[in-house]
Amino acid sequence: MNEKVALITGGARGIGRALALSLAEQGWSVAICYRTSHQPAQETMATLLDMGLRAMAEQCDVSDPKAAARFVARVEKEWSRIDALINCAGPYHRVNLLEESVEGWLEMFDNNLHPVFYMSRAAAPGMKERRWGRIVNFSMANADQLVAQPNLTAHYIAKAGVLVLTRTLARLLASSGVTVNAVSPGFINTGSTPEAELAAMTKNIPAGYVGTVSDVVSAVNFLLSDQARYINGANLHLSGGWGI
């Protein structure tokens, strides 16, 4: 993986940050973008630079197609390539569907589904030209079940859309040596959820425990590797059996 370049949206904290650090440890150059997490981004950037590797952090709202395209272009201009695009950004809010505002409804699609299209569209031409690339998109563990989600409706529909978009991109890019896969976490301890809430979730997980960030990192590392070259259009559940 030496000399490869990864671009990670939502790379300032949580799973995105862990992925950035893991890839840097393997010798990747890492570019992260963030929307509001300025301080965590600077801390992540400092850690990456301390490793003695190339790193880049930029405040970028990837829900804006022009901003997304500019960030991809900047990375390609400075480092001549993007080998892996990891679409990790994906905020959500809980509100009953019948109480949801139009603005809140649109926000879930603007920040969870549309950026995957904007970023993939911008990064794909370079990957096709080099005939190698990896795109990993984040959905959620039960998005393929199409179950009712009264308090997460727009977010859930957006994540189901990510799965359709993933399979479509995989179909279109496979002949160019590019794989596009989805990772669908269930309950993962990213440090942002109170321990009591995580403990309450455990009874619903067949494996009997909540997943860790390292579980996600391991899965994504595999999908980025040459060992996964024939895996394309897949949806990898990371849920301990929940949501299937």
Count CA within 13 A, CB hemisphere, residue 149.
23
Q: Please give the pLDDT value at position 2.
A: 52
| Residue 218: closest CA among 229, 207, 228 | 228
Q: Is 24 helix (H, G, I), strand (E, B) or coil?
A: helix
Q: Is 41 helix (H, G, I), strand (E, B) or coil?
A: helix
pLDDT single digits (tens) 128-139: 999 999 999 999
pLDDT single digits (tens) 16-59: 999 999 999 999 999 999 887 777 778 887 788 777 779 999 99
pLDDT single digits (tens) 150-170: 999 999 999 999 999 999 999
Measured CA to CA in angstroms, residue 124 lies from 63, 153, 163, 229, 244 at distances of 18, 30, 17, 16, 31
Question: Domain residue spans in the chain?
Answer: 5-238
Alpha-carbon torsion (199, 216, 232, 156), positive or negative: positive
Residue keyed to tokens 């799965």: 163
Q: What Rg, from alpha-carbon coordinates, does the chain have?
A: 17
Going by CATH, does the domain composed of 5-238 fall within 3.40.50.720?
yes
Helices 14-25 and 213-224 pack at an angle, to 10 degrees, of: 50
Cα gap 242→168, rounded to integer Å: 26
Q: Please give the pLDDT value at position 235.
A: 98
For residue 48, the one-letter residue type is: L
The answer to whether 216 and 18 have CB atoms below 8 angstroms apart is yes
192 band by pLDDT with thresholds 50, 70 and 90: confident
Cα gap 55→72, rounded to integer Å: 14
Helices (H), the chain: 14-25, 38-50, 65-79, 102-112, 114-130, 153-173, 195-201, 213-224
Cα gap 145→87, rounded to integer Å: 21
Residue keyed to tokens 């005939």: 131
Lowest mean pLDDT: which of 45-59, 183-197, 203-217?
A: 45-59
Average confidence score pLDDT of the chain: 93
Q: Is the pTM of this model over 0.85?
A: yes
Cα gap 166→204, rounded to integer Å: 28
Cα gap 206→208, rounded to integer Å: 5
Q: Please give the pLDDT value at position 166.
A: 98
The set of catalytic residues is: 156
Count CA within 13 A, CB hemisphere, residue 172.
13
